[in-house]
Amino acid sequence: MQQPQRTLSGSRRDRSAIAVQGFLPLLFAGMCWHWARWGIAFLSAFWINDMTDSPRMVQLTGTTMWAPLLLGGALGGVFADRFDRLRTIQWQLAALVPMVVLVGLLEVTGQLSVWMIYPFLLFAGIGWVGDMTSRRALVFEVVGTQRLDNAMAYEAFALASGVAVGNLIGGSVAQSFGVGEAFFVVAGLLLVGFITLHWVPKNNAGTQSSRPESSTFTELRAGLSLARTNLGLRSILGVTFLANFFLFSYFPAVQRIGDRIGATPSQIGFIAAMTGFGMMTGSFIIGLWEPKRRGLVYIGGVAFGMTMLIPFATSGSVAMAASALFIAAVGSGFFGATQSTLVLTTVDSDMRGRAMGLLSMAIGALPVGTFLLGEIAERLGASSAVVLMALSGLICLVAWVSTHREVLRMGRSAEV
């Protein structure tokens, strides 16, 4: 296993994660997972919207898929620190492939029911916990501290590409061939990701540091205590919580806003994909820029994204909606490209999995925010709900950062 280095010396090439054996297949497997995950989210929301025409039921798809992050994040972090991380990721993908195929078959044969979608999304959400806690902690083990900033910029780019590609695949294949056939494509992506993990060297595959054996409950309690004892981590997690509760909860509402402006399924997929393209752009900028004040960029990206959601929600055409969402997502890309780096470099090496578990729990604010937005949309409409959530989020973000300023002082990983 490569040992982390504590200085950011050398050229940009010396800090490139691409040069490290095993990083590229690990990154590509993650990219396939993100493509598939967002494809699942889009297709499920699209099918539910078509079957029920209910904002509440559409938003509930997001609530269900993201609920495991809130409920199981800390436990997933313990597993990431106790068990072989590579094997955990492999089992996650291997279990999900046949489930996606089954949903596709049920849809094609006309046997898919509304109630079946939600348990399926719950299982997919559990896979997200595994990716967040095990694979991202494994990235650190593979590349080391010196290349972590660069690796996490690539990670954010891969996640953002999933938002774009997953939604585009979902919208285009669903319109051209059908929703069931689109689920088959998603299963193929998961299978490719599973196969790619074969090229990740097993000597870098998440071998845990030696420490005294302890019970799962003891390690779970130690992980949860990080949010209380580590002020820097708590400051980061608070921003993540607000971003997911108020900013990213708009995802399923794209279906309803698309309906309001008369968009076709492929156009709705195109609008939703702007989130990915914008985040890819933001991540690319961070990778080139390598800002010293990463904490400030982290917070600024959230504030900018919330602000730009307002013109997106009130847009009157496909072009306006897509453009506004793209610009908002550039801010989300700044946020995403700095998030994991800040978390992983704020804790000791033997607590990284549990720190990522706490991060996934903070991201777990997303299903709660998604549910709330759905309830507001049921009464006021999706556009008004998105505007209200964005304005509320800006107010809460200012209040949190004013009282938890630690994240503002955080710089590059070696300087934290």
The domain that holds 122 is classified in CATH as 1.20.1250.20
- Per DSSP (E only), the strands in 162-240 are none
- H or E stretch at 107: helix 85-108
Radius of gyration of the chain (CA): 20
d(CA 87, CA 89) in angstroms, rounded, equals 5
Q: Is 12 within a domain?
A: no
Q: Is 159 within a domain?
A: yes
Whose CA is closest to 180, among 125, 123, 110?
A: 110
Q: Is 410 within a domain?
A: yes
Q: Is there a contact between 43 and 214 (Cβ–Cβ < 8 Å)?
A: no
d(CA 137, CA 223) in angstroms, rounded, equals 14
Alpha helix stretches (DSSP H) within 230-364: 231-242, 253-260, 265-289, 294-313, 318-344, 352-363
Q: Is 11 within a domain?
A: no
d(CA 33, CA 52) in angstroms, rounded, equals 28
pLDDT in tens, the chain (416 residues): 344 434 444 555 556 788 888 899 999 999 999 999 989 998 998 899 889 988 788 878 888 887 887 766 666 666 666 777 888 888 889 999 999 999 999 999 999 999 999 999 999 988 878 887 788 778 878 887 778 777 877 887 888 788 778 877 888 888 889 999 999 999 999 999 999 999 988 755 444 544 445 555 566 566 667 778 888 899 999 999 999 999 988 887 888 899 899 988 888 888 988 988 898 898 888 877 777 788 899 999 999 999 999 999 999 899 999 999 999 999 998 998 888 788 888 887 777 777 777 887 788 788 788 889 988 988 899 899 999 999 999 999 999 999 999 888 876 543 43
Q: Is 9 within a domain?
A: no
Q: Is the Cα dihedral 225, 229, 230, 233 positive or negative?
A: positive
d(CA 177, CA 232) in angstroms, rounded, equals 49
Q: What is the pTM of this model?
A: 0.70
**Number of residues that this document lists for the chain:** 416
Q: Is 396 within a domain?
A: yes
Q: Is the Cα dihedral 113, 115, 117, 119 positive or negative?
A: negative
Residues near 257 by Cβ (< 8 Å), separated by ≥ 6?
271, 312, 313, 315, 321, 382, 383, 386
Q: Which range marks the domain in which residue 24 is found?
A: 18-207+216-415
Burial zone of 74 (CB within 10 Å; 0-12 exposed, 13-18 middle, 19+ buried): buried
Q: Is 301 within a domain?
A: yes
Q: Is there a contact between 335 and 45 (Cβ–Cβ < 8 Å)?
A: no
CA 302 to chain centre: 14
- H or E stretch at 72: helix 55-82
How many domains does the chain fold into?
Answer: 1
Q: Is 331 within a domain?
A: yes
d(CA 92, CA 115) in angstroms, rounded, equals 23
CA 253 to chain centre: 17
Whose CA is closest to 103, among 48, 62, 176?
A: 48
